[in-house]
Amino acid sequence: MIQLPTTQPAPAVINYKTVAARLVITPSQPAITLDGVAIGTLKREMDETRQVWAATLTDVIGHRGGYFKNGSLVDLTRAVTNKVVDILRRHNPDADWGVLHLEATPGELVEIADARRRVLRFPHGLRYAQRACPAGRKVVIRNPLARGRGHLVFEGAVEGVRRVSRAQALAADRLLEYRHPNAKHFSEVTFNLLPAVLAPEVKAQAPAAPPQGETQASIMEWKRATFGVSTPMRQMARAVEEAAELFRAVTSGADPSRVSVEAADVALILADIGELLGVADWLADGRQTCISQPERLVAFVVTQLGCLAREVAEIDPERGEDGLRVPRSILQSIIGALQELVEFGDLKGAIDAKMAVNRARVWSLDGTGHGYHRSAA
């Protein structure tokens, strides 16, 4: 009997993106979890004269991960995620480490395109260590600040990595002195290239809208499937961006339908914050502001977004529900102002209409859990 060869399953991908999707670090709970299993704790504590976030990794597949503290929850999350990635990689030596994303300046991209550069230099760290960059690992090189189509993206593979002193790095590239003034050592990443391509557009592949209309759950499901995971402060930044568009529409005398669309955009971003605060329906219980003038309503929204961002950044999981009352109240006031701006019941209809448009759009992702639309389907 002829026995068919068995197909070996592809090794699991272990990199920052995949681990961040499995890791839950949120101010609303004290436990840090990986795949639903507690691996550490998160709390607020005093560091001399200020409060900081403190994380302790107690058991990551049998390893103690250490203690981390930072005034920024985003920076703390990044440090913890990198540590967990390192532990998982050491525990799974045959895993696929995924694509290594290398940042390059516009000038460096031009040199790469002209075949005048095959080395990029970065401050030495685990991300660019020899262990993290074995020969043959796939790389993508781009300018992370570029937006839209037309900018160069290079694909290739790592040829080698070596650690060099600051003096050696500056001798090869004097601009490093200004870009990384505090780096003592650098990693030189040498790579081979595939042909350059243009930045791709991404067509969202996400569940269809529910027949009864959009809900917070359906919107969040679509967002995660389309954009991936984001951070609370990045969500607040996007909400402020959309509020600026709303402010411009109101103060420029735009058609009411346009104002409704911009108000819906602000509300859609805040669905993430509603979920963070443990609210089942972020549109419910919008609190009336009794402000009649549209310009003042939008100004109120902008100022309250600033207050909400501060509260979101300072959520203390140890306070439980008590720590969520103020940000929930601010969220209700923002939703109430948006409802007044579009004459109450129209906000839900505007959100349903905007989500129908969003689901049909083609998106270019920015790598932070957000994207910018390029065209319709």
End-to-end CA distance of the chain: 51
Task: Please indicate, yes or no, whether residues 208 and 191 belong to a single structural domain of this protein.
Answer: no
- The residue with tokens 């991209």 is 109
| Per-residue pLDDT, 151 | 62
Q: For 60-67, what is the mean pLDDT?
A: 84
Q: Is residue 278 part of a domain?
A: yes
Specify whether 170 is located in the same domain as 79: no
Pair (191, 208) in one structural domain: no
The pair of structure tokens assigned to 229 is 């995971």
- Residue 141 C-beta-side C-alpha neighbours within 13 Å: 29
Model-level pTM greater than 0.85?
Answer: no
Band of pLDDT at residue 195, cut at 50, 70 and 90: low
Residue 304 domain-assigned? yes
Report pLDDT for 209.
64
349 and 250, same structural domain?
yes
Domain limit, last residue, from 59, 91, 123: 91
Residues 208 and 344 in one domain: yes
State residue 115's pLDDT score. Answer: 79
Q: Are 144 and 225 within one domain?
A: no
Q: Same structural domain for residues 233 and 369? A: yes
Same domain, 241 and 372: yes
Q: Are residues 248 and 372 in the same domain?
A: yes
**Mean pLDDT in residue range 304-310:** 93
Range of the domain at 130: 100-200
For residue 149, what pLDDT is reported?
46
Based on the fold, state whether residues 252 and 180 are members of the same structural domain: no
Say how far apart CA 332 and CA 320 lie, in whole Å: 19
Which domain-ending residue is among 91, 114, 131? 91
pLDDT digits (tens, 9 = 90+) for 221-254: 888 888 777 788 888 988 998 999 999 988 888 7
| One domain for residues 215 and 338 | yes
Give tens-digit pLDDT for 277-306.
888 888 887 777 777 788 999 999 999 999
Q: Give the model's confidence band at 255: pLDDT under 50 very low, under 70 low, under 90 confident, else very high.
A: confident
For 341-372, what is each residue's pLDDT tens digit?
A: 887 447 888 888 888 888 887 776 655 666 66
CB 350 within 8 A of CB 264: yes
What average pLDDT does this structure show over 101-106?
84
Query: Per-residue pLDDT tens for 7-19?
Result: 555 667 888 888 8
Q: Residue 127 has what DSSP assignment?
A: G
Q: How many domains does the chain have?
A: 3
Which pLDDT band holds residue 187 (cuts at 50, 70, 90)?
A: very high
278-285, long-range: CB < 8 A, 24+ apart:
278/28, 278/324, 279/216, 279/328, 279/331, 280/216, 281/215, 281/216, 282/216, 282/331, 282/335, 283/216, 283/335, 283/347, 283/348, 283/351, 285/332, 285/335
Judgement on whether residues 185 and 207 belong to the same structural domain of the protein: no
Mean pLDDT of the chain: 82
Structural tokens at position 260: 């409704």
The HSE-up count of residue 233 (CA atoms within 13 Å, CB side) is 12
Do 289 and 337 form a contact (C-beta atoms < 8 A)? yes
When pLDDT is averaged across residues 100-116 and rounded to a whole number, the result is 82
The pLDDT value given to residue 307: 93
| Per-residue pLDDT reduced to its tens digit, 139-162 | 988 877 665 444 678 889 999 999
Q: Are strands 100-103 and 138-142 parallel, antiparallel or unpaired?
A: parallel
Which among 91, 111, 131 is the end of a domain? 91
For residue 376, pLDDT over 60 is answered with no
* Burial (Cβ within 10 Å: 0-12, 13-18, ≥19) of residue 88: buried
